[in-house]
Amino acid sequence: MIHPLRLVTVHPALIHFTIGALPIFVIAYGVAALYRSERWTLAGDVALAIGALLTLVAAAFGLVAFLTVGWPGGLELWRWLHFGLGIAMTVGLAIFATVRLLRRRPQVATGWPTFGIAAGLSAITLLTGWVGGDVLVYHGGIGVAAAGQGALSPPTGPARTPKNLVEAMAETRAAWGSASAVTARMLVRAPTDHDFATIAADGRRLQKVASWIADHGAATLPRPTLPVLEEHMHHGDHQAEAMHGHEREAVSGAPKTRADHLAEMASDFGALAAELTEAAEKRDLRATAERVGDLSGACADCHLELRWVKLR
């Protein structure tokens, strides 16, 4: 069922009124300062007052969206940057509009300081809009149902070394989501060199984060020394390899721990990511799609075995 209105979509619709008011009052104040025109001052004050009022309404719905929309990992910096800039923009416009209305005098034109304040607030507003529109919505798919509430949002910046397992998962989710989305797009339209290059880069990014998880991920894993129970193992291709490992450990008397298992699965994941990179570099669409599927299956195995189990 298609809903005619969703609360999370009201904010991006209303904020366009703010954006539309910007050039009006900036130009009006500029002309007023240049020609000492009271009429252009009035035009700027009216546009500013209307824009500030509508911005308050848009900000209220923006807060609703901020608290209710799904936020995928890897976007925390942009999320809070947009929130902070939005508050600064809203408060700034409200104060500026209030001061202008209180200080308005007939036959008195504004000068360059007023124009400067208007231009500065416009710059903050445009930066806020860029973060919200380009980074969060266009790039990250926030609030867009077709983007899975941002679950397949691609990376928003260069690869970085994770500080803990949560950050590693955010890095993995972003690169995996990008590779999955681009592969799906290639399957319904002609693949391009850029598509394959994007997936190859995603594969290299996944290799790096998988290597970090294998070496350091267990340090922030809950209960890393707890043995992995047989009933928690997923019965798939990975399970066959894991069973051989359990047999060897049974002989040695050293049961596999959650840390051991995480390192093993991360290593397997890195190998699959390397295969994905190779397939993409060879422009092999079928192999690329298969490797993306294998990586998705590996993610499912890891979560079933280590994330969604009840620890003793």
Q: Binning pLDDT at 50, 70 and 90, where does residue 244 land?
A: very low
Give counts: helices (H), strands (E), the chain: 9, 0
Q: Examine the domain organization and report whether 20 and 132 are in the same domain.
A: yes
Q: What is the mean pLDDT of the chain?
A: 86
Q: Is 200 inside any structural domain?
A: yes
Q: Which of 68-72, 200-204, 254-258 has the highest mean pLDDT?
A: 200-204
Asked if residue 102 belongs to a domain, the reply is: yes
Residues 175 and 125 reside in one and the same domain? no
User: With pLDDT > 70 as the criterion, what percentage of the chain qualifies?
Assistant: 86
What ranges make up the beta strands (E) of the chain?
A: none
Q: Which tens digit of pLDDT belongs to each residue from 15-67?
A: 999 999 999 999 999 999 999 999 999 999 999 999 999 999 999 999 999 99
Contact criterion met (CB below 8 Å) for 149 and 69:
yes
Domain boundary at 93, 118, 147, which? 147
Residues 178 and 246 in one domain: yes
pLDDT digits (tens, 9 = 90+) for 176-221: 988 998 998 899 888 999 999 999 999 999 999 999 999 999 888 8
Both 118 and 195 in a single domain? Answer: no
Region 74-87: mean pLDDT is 92
pTM of structure: 0.65
In a domain, 1, yes or no: no
Domain count, the chain: 2
- Residue 131: inside a domain, yes or no? yes
Which CATH number fits the domain that encloses residue 226? 1.20.120
Considering 112, 147, 182, which residue would you say is the last residue of a domain? Answer: 147
Give the pLDDT of residue 143: 78
Tell me the C-alpha distance between 42 and 284, whole Å.
64
